[in-house]
Every structure is written in structure tokens, then in C-alpha cells.
Structure 1
Amino acid sequence: MEAVFIVNFGIVGCGYIAGKHANALEQIANARLVAACDTDLKRRTSFEEQYGVSTYENYDDFLKNPDVEAVIICTPSGSHATLGEKAAHAGKHILLEKPFVLDINQGKNLVELCKSKRVKVGVVHPNRVKTVVRALNEAVSEGWFGKITHASAVLRWNRSSEYFNSAAWRGTLELDGGMLFNQAIHNIDLFNWLLGPVDEVFAYGATQLHKIEYEDVCVCTLKLKSGALGMIEAAITLYPENLEESLAVFGSQGTAVLGGKSLSKIKEWKFSKFSEADAKIQIDQLNNESDPMGHKVIIEDFIRAITCNQEPLVSGEEAMKVLYLLNAIYQSIKTNQPVKITTDWSENM
């Protein structure tokens, strides 16, 4: 009988997203939630009562718990690098909620530190395992589109003043990072994963409605290394509620558009290799198939990375690719110039 390795997890940051991880861990046979950490007494107490785990106010004390083998970091984005480095030094595997980190040098340092400490580092991008996204990945990978000519990633959402006022870190550059790091990161990750790498970007960003430190609207054009062109549009100014999150790919032999308020349905699915009737059957099947529980799939994959000594679905190095892209977009907004995507460790990626 094959041995089952149980991985003990601790969660730092007991806010809304931590609940998704805790609920996912309860459904995984070879995972156990053993501890949590938060500086806020009310959140800490509520989490302890709901999930029955020991909780800590002090992160260093939390990391000293010998039962904690892997840490899930669910704190504001700007704290990820520091908390991740401390976890790595403590010999803990690290699963970070999106985004990975906000700064390229911090990201590089964390990836290299995790290598030297022989711990795994992964990033939570559950949209990669959505049913329709997996289908689009197959279509791109198998060459159904022929020559891909252009593609787009669009996020048209609403974030209210109440949302930004709900926590002091929201809307700040230091801890929130920007709309592209927070709301649009999943769609940008999918665009880069499916169609990248990107060669050059030119972007405009503006703060149109919200009293925040960063953009609430951004439009970006992209040149891909494949020769295709691309467009990213992101906004959190939509009235009165979220309108759509979409991803579209166009080629000489195919057209595909995924949409809905949260990228959940196929809107267009036409390929020369399929008849119209066959394509309709595929659309109906995919649109009626339930999505897997994204956080559960991500954690199960991370457990395999630990127990089988393999890379997680979105490793630190994989997440760095999006970080370089976002850095170039923000640089273009700042300079009003096209910006090439450059890395100084591309050989390692």
C-alpha cells in the first residue's frame, strides 16, 4: 500500500481569502491546517473558533511552530516578500496568494532564497484550472488557431469607495500595488501563460474616479515575440457592477472568446478542424461542466510539488514572468514610451 504523506499548513493573514484556503484544506485528505497568524485579535479569534487551530499574533512565533511545514501567505501584497523570506529562512514551503510580490528584485531574491533553502514556492492562480481556460490552453498548445494574429485580455469590473475604505492598505501603492497587481493579475497571467512571451508594451493608465494612489483604468498594446499583437484593457470603474472578464484569441484557422463576469463561459469557439455542429457540442459541454474548486486544485498541486520534489503549477520563476511584464507596463505609463520586456536572468526562466 502506497504511503500517504500529510503536509501540515499554516495560514498567515486571516481575512476573506484565508477562508477559501482553510475550506479547501479541509477537503484534502493529505493536508492539515495546524496554525494561523494575524495581528488583528478579532480576525484571529474568529478564525480560531471556526477552524479549531492554534493562532498567533507574532509571525516569528508562528514560524517556530515545528508542526507547520508549509505557509500560505494571505496578507496584503506589499508584505509578501518579507513574510516569504522569513518563512524560507525558517525552512517552510511557501504558497503565496496573488500577486507573487510587487518588486522585481524582491521576487528574484525570494526565488533564489527558496532554492538555496530547498523549499518550494508557489503562487495561487486558480483561473488556470477553470474548465474553459483548460480548453483554450489545449487549443493554443495543439495549434488549432493556425497562425495566431492577435489576442486580448479584458477586465471591466466595479470597485466601490466602500471597498477601498474597508481596509487601510487598499488603494495604496506600498501594500496594494495597483489595479494590474490586484484585480487584473489573473487575466494578465493567463494572457502571458497562453500567448507569451511579450516583447514590447505601450500603455496608458489613469485614475479616473477613485481616490486611490494608483490607476483605476489602463489600456495597453503589446507586441508578442511570436509576431502576434495583443491588447490588455482593465478598469475598476464600471457602473453599477462587474460587467465582464474576457480573453480572446484570433488566428488564421480559429477564433475563441471566453467571457462572462468572471471568465466562466465560452462565447465564441470556431476552428477549421471542427464542423459548426461539432464546435457547438464542445461549447455546450464545456459551458455546462462545473469548474473545479480552484484553491483546492492549487493546494493539491503544491502538495505534490513538496512530496514529489517537482515544481508547482505556478512556481516563483513562472510568476516572475508576469512581474516583468507588469513592471514594463507601469514603466510605459510613467514614461509615455514603448518599453521592451527585459530580464537579466531569462536563461533561468
Structure 2
Amino acid sequence: MTETNTTTTELIKAGIVGTGYAASQRADTLQKDWRSHLVAISSHTLTRAQAFAQTYETSFIDSWQQLIEHPDIDVVFICTINCDHGVIARAALETGKHVVTEYPLSLNPSEAESLIALAQAKGKLLHVEHIELLGGLHQALLQFLPKIGKPFYARYVTMVPKKPAPKRWTYHPELFGFPFKAALPHVHRFTNLFGQVASVSCQSQFWSNCEYYKACLCNGQMRFQNGLIEGFPLTISHFCN
């Protein structure tokens, strides 16, 4: 027998802050599941909000502050610039909403810890999306790592070439955050595999152009308590004008 939705009271009513790729993936998933309903979205840019709302046949709200106050919304999906994650999550939790946010939870570790405590005190869901741990690559590592013996060195490289470097928020230090914070899920792959980190060292260089950087090069190294050394180079953008 096919299960169908019979009453609107069963619906999880959601609001989305943001209109980018992550927001579109959330909207697609919400609309495909009969247990959920996308009530409204908000964005920094009105024209993007209007276009997004039209695509997904939902309403748009002028600001995220108004969205989290919406009485018909149960859960807020945060899919906007990194620097706003913490403040939106706190406001939503204090309003009594459940929260699902893209990584990072906050650019400030102390604020992230306080948000976890707030969610526990309020009895609300606070989920930070780390989809890499669910992917085929990581699952294969988990499966075959015990078969290769004890590793002593691991390396992870991320390169994102763009020419010319776009003036997007991901190239703005204050909006995006330090690259290794923004790349937290990649780091999380190794902590999930190898456990506690004993020490961390890092060097970075940025090629700036007013508020935005044209390129950055970050090299980090983590030493794990089990003796493993992990090199973690991260390159974003390009090295020419």
C-alpha cells in the first residue's frame, strides 16, 4: 500500500535563508518529500529571492529576520554567507525554530559551542551539514582503511582555479572566513577517520585586490594522537591578473 499525506498537520514547514546552490538543493529535497512544505525563502538580493520563489512556487520574505519570525515555519535552513550563520542560527533558536545550517556553524568556535548549548536548552534540532562523510569516497576509506595497515601519513589537496577571480563572497575574507574554517568538512574527514588531533600548524598567503583576494595559498599540517601526520594544502583561485 502506498503511503500518502492525509493532513497538513503532519507537514514539516520550512523556511530557507539563501538562494544559491545549497539553497536550491534544500528546496528540491523539501518539495519532493510529502512530509515537508517550503513556506518561504529570503535573500540579500530581492531579484534573486523573487526568481527563486517563482521557480519553487513559494513566497519570498524581505529579510531573514522576518523569515524566522514567521509563525508557520518550524525549521530554518541557513544557506547564506558564512559570516551570518551564527547570528541567524541564534536568532532562530531563540525564536523556537529548529535549525539546519550549512557548515560552518559559526566562524567563531566559542559562539558555535554556545549555539550547541542553546539548542540543547531549548530542546531544538541543530544540524550542521557535513555531507562529505556520507559520500562514496569517505565510505570507501572507512571500509578499506583497516586492510592497508596503520597509516603514518595522509594528504588532502583542494584546488579551485578561477580566471579571472570572481568578486564573490567566497573570495571575501570577512564574509567567507579563513579558508580552513570554510573547508571544515574536508578536515572533518580526517578527524572522523583518525580521531583526536594533537597539534596543528599552518602557513597562508593571500593576493589581495581591495576587499577581495585574487588568490590564496594555505598549507596546514595536523598531527594526530595516534601518530599520523596529515598534510592539508588548499589553493583557491589563480596567480595571475
The TM tier, using the shorter chain, reads 0.7 to 0.9
Aligned-pair CA distance for 1:185: 3.1
Structure 2 residues without counterparts, runs of 5 or longer: none
Residues 122 and 210 of structure 1: CA distance in aligned 2, closer, same or farther (over 3 Å): same
Secondary structure of residue in 1 paired with 2:49: helix
Counterpart of 2:133 (choices 123, 128, 140) is 128
Q: Which has the higher strand share?
A: 2
Q: Residue in 2 aligned with 1:105?
A: 110
User: Matched residue pairs, number?
Assistant: 233
Matches within 5 A, 1:130-279: 130-140=135-145, 143-163=146-166, 165=167, 167=168, 169-182=169-182, 184-207=183-206, 209-211=207-209, 212=212, 216-237=216-237
Amino acid aligned to 1:185: L
Amino acid aligned to 1:159: K
Aligned-pair CA distance for 1:22: 0.9
Distance 1:238 1:14 in 2: 26
Q: Residue in 2 aligned with 1:74?
A: 79
Secondary structure of residue in 2 paired with 1:175: helix
Q: Residue in 1 aligned with 2:58?
A: 53
Within the alignment, does 1:92 sit opposite 2:97 as a pair? yes
Secondary structure of residue in 2 paired with 1:116: helix
Residues 195 and 215 of structure 1: CA distance in aligned 2, closer, same or farther (over 3 Å): farther
Q: Residue in 2 aligned with 1:36?
A: 41
Amino acid aligned to 1:148: P
Contact 1:178 1:215 in 2 (8 A): no
**Offset from partner CA, 1:152-177 (integer Å, 9 cap, x none):** 211122134442x1x4x443332210
Aligned-pair CA distance for 1:56: 0.7
Distance 1:123 1:144 in 2: 31
Distance 1:185 1:215 in 2: 19
Distance 2:203 2:214 in 1: 12
Contact 1:9 1:70 in 2 (8 A): yes
Q: Residue in 2 aligned with 1:116?
A: 121
Aligned-pair CA distance for 1:6: 3.2
Secondary structure of residue in 1 paired with 2:156: strand
Amino acid aligned to 2:227: G
Secondary structure of residue in 2 paired with 1:123: strand
Secondary structure of residue in 1 paired with 2:132: helix
Task: Say which is worse superposed, 72-81 or 36-45, in terms of deviation.
Answer: 36-45
Contact 2:160 2:236 in 1 (8 A): yes
TM-score normalised according to structure 2 size: 0.86
Aligned-pair CA distance for 1:238: 5.2
Aligned sequence identity (%): 24
TM-score normalised according to structure 1 size: 0.61
Counterpart of 2:88 (choices 83, 87, 94) is 83
Aligned-pair CA distance for 1:129: 1.6
Contact 1:69 1:93 in 2 (8 A): yes
Amino acid aligned to 1:205: S
Q: Residue in 2 aligned with 1:63?
A: 68
Distance 1:14 1:191 in 2: 30
Aligned-pair CA distance for 1:124: 1.6
Amino acid aligned to 1:230: E
Contact 1:25 1:32 in 2 (8 A): yes
Amino acid aligned to 1:226: N
Secondary structure of residue in 2 paired with 1:144: helix
Distance 1:132 1:30 in 2: 30
Contact 2:215 2:239 in 1 (8 A): no
Distance 2:118 2:4 in 1: 30
Distance 2:163 2:106 in 1: 25
Secondary structure of residue in 1 paired with 2:171: coil
Secondary structure of residue in 2 paired with 1:68: coil
Q: Residue in 1 aligned with 2:14?
A: 9
Contact 2:161 2:237 in 1 (8 A): yes
Contact 1:178 1:214 in 2 (8 A): no
Aligned-pair CA distance for 1:110: 0.8
